[in-house]
Structure 1
Amino acid sequence: MNRQTRADEPDHAPIVPRENLDFGLDGDIPKYWMAGDAFKTRFFDAMSTLFPMGEKFFITSVREFRDGVTSPKLQQEVKDFIRQEAQHTLIHRQFNDRLKAQGVDIDAINQQLETMFFVDVPKVTTRTQRLAATAALE
């Protein structure tokens, strides 16, 4: 049986923001933490450097539509989504601080990503396209 879901009635598991997340990122991490493999480690390190600005992009894309949401349930889901993405950002920043201590130029990476996500991308996309990209990537 086909069921069409309206945008104001999400048909999925709810977002459950977590509290007091701790991934053990208080101390140093080995330079090649992924089983001693430099390629695998740096691949995932590169992903982590992307995520804080990516999460900020997702939050911004959703916030651009927040005022038009009338469903209380969807309003709560938007709030929970933004909170969840902010939590993800904090964890990746903690990890990226460890990379910075190893000599990775996180500040330069963030500057380039911020320009890409918040200057370049908005020049060639609409807010609807940015929201669609957020939904697809999330």
Structure 2
Amino acid sequence: MHRSTLRTLAVIAPFLLLTACAGSKPTTKVKAQLITGTWTGPDNEKLTFAADRTFTASNLGSENLAPQKCADTPSDGGWAFYAPGKSQGTEFSDKSAASGSWIAVVFHGAAEDCRFDLAVVDKGKALCATDDRDAPCSLDVKFTRSS
């Protein structure tokens, strides 16, 4: 390889790495006990997770969650950590998983069309709503613990 080509690569490579990582946040594996409680989003969206793997939700009709077909009306559902499947590279939601870094939320009733997952970020201090496993905070709604 030519010296000028090597110099060009040396200059460009850090920018390519920075671009590849832009917008992604590392996830954190936590135990279920750290998820239970009430989490609030930036527009007063609320998720309250119970130890029995159920949850209640309200105010999910915010601008960022609206495309996910979420509504402002109170709703409920079940939650589970994603766990590795039997085939390499596969995962499934497992209500018996004691810990994880990705959470599946399944809505019941009128909100059953609401679709997003949660990524555990900021060392377990926040949950990001996402519709893209490659971008944990893709929906730009970060929930923080309020109780």
TM-score normalised by structure 1 residue count: 0.24
Q: Which has the higher contact order (CA 8 A, sep 6+)?
A: 1
Structure with greater helix percent: 1
TM-score normalised by structure 2 residue count: 0.23
Structure with greater strand percent: 2
